[in-house]
Structure 1
Amino acid sequence: MTFSLGLKATSAGYRLAAYDQVGSTNVEAMARARDGDRGSIWFVTSEQTAGRGRRQRAWIAPRGNLASSVLEVLEVAPATAATLGFAAGLATAAALQKVSVEAALRAGSQGLKYDLKWPNDVLVGGKKLVGISLDAEAVGNHLAVVVGIGTNVVGAPEGTPTPAISLAALGVQIGAEELFSSLSDSWVEFLGIWDNGRGFGEIRRRWLDCAAGLGQAVAIKSAGSTIEGTFDTIDERGCMIVRTSAGQLVPITAGDVYFGAAASVGAA
């Protein structure tokens, strides 16, 4: 089976660059933007050898996993582009829900619940299934935004800050190609809802409905300091709002997030 766009993505004019193996789909996408490509185009492989996730951490993707990046060239401010990650999380969860339900029906088992961890990960049972990253760079009068989505289809890395899991380990027997086709269609839907940031209110509402750890104890480690409290909500900019024990509402823009019992470990 080979990679192909879904029907919605094809109708919306998306293009596809598929690789048998590549260092990083994100790097390929941004290089294309620097060369003048104005999107919209997906870069995809089932074996990535030099991928990077959020905060430049290595992202291990053995053959059979899905490494995908979409390039969109937009007329938005960087702060607005940052909220696109929440749409990406919703699009990925929707695609996973579709293919896992279909796989469950074939196998006679139940589907899975997918949770969204701030800012961009997709979890199952508290374990990381998908990592999402955003890169942005000015190209002329526009902003090239690359959304990288890495999904553990057949295997998951060990020793990660958040324990990881794969679809195969969850009993979902699908291929990276099937998942990608669904993802490319789901992306069209949620990019349309996001609407260059104008629809972030609706994206925010839907994201909070799927949010991992909402209302739970949380610790965020960033730049050598730790903020502890309760995950209260996300604001109109996508910041995590933490309510401290003193009742103060603190906006968080970045950091490593630990929930529940792990919050006390993360704060240590």
Structure 2
Amino acid sequence: MKFFQYEALGSTSVEADRLFDSGEAPAFWVRADQQTAGRGRRGREWSSPKGNFYGTACYAFDGKPNEAAKLSFVAAIAVAKTLNAYTLTSEPTLKWPNDVLIDGRKIAGLLLEAKPGRVLIGIGINLISHPDGGNVPPTHLLEHMDPAVLNSEEPEFTGVEGVLAILAREFDQAFRRHLAYGFSATRADWTALSKGIPGPVTVRLPDETFTGEAQSLLENGALRVVAGDGTIRDVHAGDVFSGS
């Protein structure tokens, strides 16, 4: 596994794509201390000041787009397990489709892009600071670490390079498990970390908002919701919030 680390980039995903096109063989990671053009889902800007984690994994992949999309669940599992490597005051949980939360606040974002021969998994984790705003209140890692381990002679948190080492290992394990056992194994791992399924949700789509009971993560990656009127709705894209 190769690691390419920079002081600043426009986007780690763009750099990973460039490296692949120039002949660099996957798998590899690209990390930057800061990004000047970081992106989130649906083209949203991802704030990228120094001190937080910004990285992209490039893996060989030739599956169909709908199969590649399932890797976002793999990445969310890897991020949650990475955070669990630290002594936290609350466990991280997952929100459909791929948000990572602590105490109901967003700590990480993922952006997946599938292209011929590879898949790029962009990951941003708030470590020492977080931006304001967003659909889900944000947070960062140091707010949730046990003060005893932060102030010890050998602190657990050693910065972004330590996070990269853990994340690269966790993602590689989750990716290989996904390839070996299929989405059913990934779905089970994701559901165990989600905490909100089954449970009440509000679903916000481009043209409507409705409430209901989230039932399960389906084999195709959709979230099955029983709406308030009793109809079954399989949500393939949109924003989902716990509670009704």
TM-score scaled by structure 2? 0.90
Unpaired runs of at least 5, structure 2: 151-156
Q: What's the CA shift for 1:183?
A: 0.6
Do residues 21 (structure 1) and 8 (structure 2) align?
A: yes
Rate the CA distance shift 1:20–1:193 in 2: closer, same or farther, 3 A: same
Aligned length: 234
Percent same amino acid at aligned positions?
A: 31
Match for 2:124: what amino acid?
G
Do residues 178 (structure 1) and 162 (structure 2) align?
A: yes
Do residues 116 (structure 1) and 94 (structure 2) align?
A: yes
**Aligned partners of 2:89 and 2:145 also within 8 Å:** no
Match for 1:27: what amino acid?
V
Residue in structure 2 matched with residue 48 of structure 1 by the alignment: 35
Render the CA deviation track for 1:1-43: whole Å, top value 9, x for unaligned: xxxxxxxxxxxxx111101111111111223334444411101
Residue in structure 2 matched with residue 249 of structure 1 by the alignment: 232
Match of 1:146 among 104, 117, 120: 120
Match of 1:226 among 201, 204, 209: 209
Give the Cα–Cα distance (whole angstroms) in 2 for the partners of residues 31 and 194 of structure 1.
Answer: 26
Unpaired runs of at least 5, structure 1: 1-13, 102-109, 264-268
RMSD value, Cα: 1.7
Q: What's the CA shift for 1:156?
A: 0.5
Render the CA deviation track for 1:111-170: whole Å, top value 9, x for unaligned: 5301011111110000001111111122xxx3x211111000010010111000011222
Give the Cα–Cα distance (whole angstroms) in 2 for the partners of residues 15 and 235 of structure 1.
Answer: 34
Render the CA deviation track for 1:74-124: whole Å, top value 9, x for unaligned: 1211111111111111111111111x13xxxxxxxx553010111111100
Residue in structure 2 matched with residue 203 of structure 1 by the alignment: 186
Give the Cα–Cα distance (whole angstroms) in 2 for the partners of residues 84 and 195 of structure 1.
Answer: 10
Q: What's the CA shift for 1:186?
A: 0.8
Residue in structure 2 matched with residue 159 of structure 1 by the alignment: 133
* Higher RCO, 1 vs 2 (CA within 8 Å, ≥6 residues apart): 1
Q: What's the CA shift for 1:171?
A: 3.3
Residue in structure 2 matched with residue 236 of structure 1 by the alignment: 219
